[in-house]
Chain A
């Protein structure tokens, strides 16, 4: 996925997520459909970053930067809260479930779970954005500087993949690289 598309997807997701936070801002019907529509980009976001998640989990107990560790903790909390808010929202929904002729859950506990998980999700989204703010600003600036055509194609990705020096201690290789080769 190109830098431009990732930025676009993440920006749209963030906007939709904030808009869907309060049903009173959009009305219940839009709140429910917008939240349901968020499932697909959320899954895409997860698939795109899945390798990083797996790699970081594997290295969590060994040497890992504090920021990466913090990122993983926030991301796991975000994942749990988003799954919870989506599940409980689907169960108490009237517009979406009503379309399929299914009555929503009437237990009060699901409303409470939905409210609490929505608060947790919006807080963790804020933390997630703060932790990735630098990347977002850098990517947006690169896109603005290179004009509207930037980011469409492999050539546009090249600046984002500019060489970065990574210091790997001797012998402490990546989990995928038992030989402990140095990455350049």
Chain B
């Protein structure tokens, strides 16, 4: 997965994200922030799933579906590649 663009994001603890390349800004929650941090560390999807399930009280099936949606969103904003 191409993650170069993630490195340039300005990410605040409040969940506010600014992309200095496109000028777009986004908001996400605590889990979203963790996913972006893990992607930046080059973690793959199974590793992200295991980490989030360990750290947060979430249901595996729901989280896996949400993670697909979330990464699709990141792709649609050109923040990650295929």
Q: Do A and B bind each other?
A: no
